[in-house]
Amino acid sequence: MKKILRITGKILLLLFIVLVFLIGGIFIYNKIMITSEEALIEKPIGQYVEVDGHKMNLYTEGEGCHTLLFLSGSGTAAPVLDFKSLYSLLSSDYKIVVIEKFGYGFSDVVDSERSFKTILRQDREALTKAGIEGPYILCPHSMSGIEAIMWAQNYPDEVEAIVGLDMVLPRAYDNWDWDSTIKKERLAAFARELGIVRLFYSDSQLPEKLTDKEKKIYRALAASKAVNTCIINEGLAISDAVTEIDRKPKPDIPMLMFVSDGHETGVEKWIDIQSDYISDLTNAEVIELDCGHYVHIFRQDIIAEKLVEFIESL
């Protein structure tokens, strides 16, 4: 028995040493790559505007009578590239705008409070400074659904409609495990520091519509910024934002909700929550899509088709 225990101990020690060298190698490789990728992400895909003394990136493409404003979900490393599969199908008819909030894409990471009041104020200020006027058709993915609803509640003249890309609604957070979420985000931030996050952004995991250079940019942004202070602080602010939304009437504006199968959201009755929300709205529809949470990457063709029909009916 003692011999078996000694052998087992040696094996475990060897595995631990291998693991330490492996993680050390990944860490060193990632630091080398981040340095070599600085030139790749030095200039934004879009334009910088100054908000609260920091640089925020906005991307625009196309022209038209309607302005589609894309708002990314929590932790999306490169929103400008993430939404490209969808907006590239629409920019011949509409003006496309993608906001990269602080902590996202090419925008600065800021160490300050990230209440949704602040996020909304900063986004509106960035649009004003860039000369992009409303009203907007808000196209929020995931967590940005909270911001979109607040926008419509507080500034109804600026919101023509909302097109939800598997957007989060307030009731999705009723039974949310906040402690677990924050622990996972901090663990992910630690994984970014170690360089492990880079492994999750292989070419096969990135949107197919991107060029090889765009995939390199996406990976570089993820490796240097994924799950940073801004993203973590946003998560801490969601509960207060939901409380504020619940104090005000639901905005009765045209809404088209593209909804995933819900399996990647971690929320029970995901589709039911979407259907319940629009049940008493004047002009709203839910379209269920048999795919994962990033619907604009998995089902961009059907979304573009239905979105055009929706806009032309406004």
Nearest to 172 by CA among 263, 272, 80, 35: 272
Q: What is the pLDDT of residues 73-84, one digit of tens each?
A: 998 999 999 999
Residues in the chain: 314
pLDDT confidence of 13, banded at 50, 70, 90? low
Q: Specify the pLDDT at position 7.
A: 66
Place of tokens 């609604």: 169
Q: How far apart are the first and last CA of the chain?
A: 77
Tokens of 251: 């905005």
> pTM for the complete prediction?
0.91
The mean predicted confidence, pLDDT, of the chain is 91
Tokens of 107: 């925008």
Nearest to 90 by CA among 260, 313, 307: 307
Q: Specify the pLDDT at position 32.
A: 78
What are the domain boundaries of the chain?
1-36, 47-312
Q: What is the pLDDT of residues 168-201, one digit of tens each?
A: 999 999 988 777 777 777 787 777 777 788 887 8
Three-state DSSP class for residue 248:
coil
Distance of alpha carbon 46 from alpha carbon 59, whole angstroms: 4
Which whole number is the average pLDDT over 30-38? 80
Q: Name, in order, each residue with C-beta under 8 angstroms of 180's C-beta and a sequence gap of 6 or more.
A: none
Distance of alpha carbon 4 from alpha carbon 311, whole angstroms: 71
Tokens of 25: 């190698």
Q: Is it the case that residue 280 has pLDDT exceeding 70?
A: yes
| Second CATH level (architecture) for the domain 47-312 | 3-Layer(aba) Sandwich (3.40)
Q: Is it the case that residue 271 has pLDDT exceeding 90?
A: yes
Cβ-based burial of 228 (10 A; exposed 0-12, middle 13-18, buried ≥19): buried
Q: Name, in order, each residue with C-beta under 8 angstroms of 305's C-beta and a sequence gap of 6 or more.
A: none
Q: Name, in order, each residue with C-beta under 8 angstroms of 243's C-beta and a sequence gap of 6 or more.
A: none
Q: What is the pLDDT of residues 150-160, one digit of tens each?
A: 999 999 999 99
